[in-house]
Chains A and B, each alone.
Chain A
Amino acid sequence: EPEVTQTPSHQVTQMGQEVILRCVPISNHLYFYWYRQILGQKVEFLVSFYNNEISEKSEIFDDQFSVERPDGSNFTLKIRSTKLEDSAMYFCASSRDGPYEQYFGPGTRLTVT
């Protein structure tokens, strides 16, 4: 069964450093998303991406964040200068038909020290 994959599973970085989180969505999906979950809290939407552009973003997704689909398979989230409060689990998701039945990856745990 096709699945969304994410790398790395765990990333530790120092405050101020840039990180890139990578995702490989399901191959015939057209909509891509990033969410995050701070430990013990609910899952929060960051950004959605369709047709090679951002279709919606939340207030969390400020100028420090960017997304890219550099080729036909990868979907990346870059945080330019990490802050302590960026520590969270980041989930990539993809879907075929918009926000319905999104398939989530296993997540990348980002720890900013």
Chain B
Amino acid sequence: SQQGEEDPQALSIQEGENATMNCSYKTSINNLQWYRQNSGRGLVHLILIRSNEREKHSGRLRVTLDTSKKSSSLLITASRAADTASYFCATDPFQGAQKLVFGQGTRLTINP
């Protein structure tokens, strides 16, 4: 399997509910980031968590990182229809790699 694998691949919930997406990775990392992509559009940076952090909040977003399990989760609270998008985790592998490695993404649908 590959660096940055998200699950579930697709998630459909009702507006107002919380959405949780998970990401696993293989190699040591400096940071892990989450991006959102609306259909056919570019990637929007949501949040970055450093390898020495365990949890981070930004508005309705909560990200956790467990480096011992090489996994991260993204929680979106009180979801809205506008949150419908694909969500990707991206890692920058350790040792100075000048790139982001993206997962397959989770397609999130918020039903009104």
Contact = CB atoms under 8 A, between A and B. Distances in A.
Interface of A: 4, 31, 33, 35, 41-45, 48, 50, 55-56, 58, 91, 93, 98-107
A45 B101 contact: yes
Interface stretch (B10-18, B39-47, B55-63, B67-75): B39-47
Nearest to A92: B42
Contacts of B101: 45
Contacts of A45: 99-102
Contacts, number: 65
Contacts of B97: 56, 99
B42 A99 contact: no
| Secondary structure class of chain B's binding surface, majority of residues | strand
A82 B60 CA distance: 43
A61 to B, nearest CB: 11
Interface of B: 4, 30-31, 33, 35, 41-45, 48, 88, 90, 92, 97-105
A104 B92 contact: no
Given A42-B88, A106-B42, A56 B103 contact: no
A103 B45 contact: yes
A48 B98 CA distance: 6
